[in-house]
């Protein structure tokens, strides 16, 4: 039974990240300093298991976040798809850098996705968009990224790599 869930492990971790991000961290209290856990999970899985994380999973994860958070449908989905495509395009280059430099890649990606979301939302609402998110979310995501990536590495090595090596 458990062996049937192992190929779906990246999707399950992204789903759990969306649940924790949107339900465990209430929006009004954590509006500025709420880390983007889905982005971290998409970044990791696309970087190290591109066969398990593609644009379709990014689309579904973004739509889930849009529906749960009440954002306009497709706002997170578009930015997540573009993130996955960027990481897929520059994956070899990103994997070749030291782990400490990856901590600076994550805030750059968060700034790109948040900037894209703010630009798309400003088309609908004009200047009434939450511009303050551009400052807080990259900092919060960078602070939580090492812990989340460490947990993802543990899950990856324990469940996916050991099971694959036993076959």
Look up the pTM and report it.
Answer: 0.86
Residue 27 has pLDDT above 80, yes or no: no
What is the distance between the alpha carbons of residues 135 and 83, in angstroms, rounded to a whole number? 19
87 contacts: CB under 8 Å, gap ≥ 6: 42, 43, 46, 47, 94, 109
What is the distance between the alpha carbons of residues 38 and 53, in angstroms, rounded to a whole number? 12
What mean pLDDT value characterizes the chain?
83
- pLDDT (tens digit per residue) in 60-110: 999 999 898 887 888 889 999 999 999 999 988 888 887 777 777 888 888
What's the pLDDT at 133?
62
Where are the domains positioned within the chain?
2-166
CB 45 within 8 A of CB 152: yes
What is the distance between the alpha carbons of residues 165 and 63, in angstroms, rounded to a whole number? 34
Of the two residues 129 and 21, the one the predictor is more confident about is: 21
Q: Which two tokens stand for residue 9?
A: 């492990």
CB 92 within 8 A of CB 99: no
């Amino acid at each position: 039974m458990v062996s049937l869930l192992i190929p779906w492990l990246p999707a399950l971790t992204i789903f759990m990240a969306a649940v924790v991000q949107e339900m465990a961290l209430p929006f009004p209290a954590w509006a500025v300093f709420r880390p983007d856990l889905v982005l971290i999970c998409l970044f990791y899985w696309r970087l190290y298991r591109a066969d398990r994380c593609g644009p379709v999973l990014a689309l579904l994860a973004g739509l889930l976040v849009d529906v749960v958070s009440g954002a306009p449908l497709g706002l997170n989905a578009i930015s997540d798809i573009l993130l996955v495509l960027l990481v897929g395009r520059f994956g070899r280059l990103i994997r070749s850098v030291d782990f400490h430099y990856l901590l600076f890649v994550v805030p750059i990606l968060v700034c790109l996705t948040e900037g894209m979301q703010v630009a798309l939302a400003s088309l609908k609402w004009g200047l009434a968009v939450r511009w303050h998110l551009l400052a807080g979310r990259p900092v919060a995501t960078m602070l939580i990224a090492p812990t989340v990536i460490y947990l993802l590495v543990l899950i990856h090595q324990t469940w996916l790599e050991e099971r694959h090596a036993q076959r």
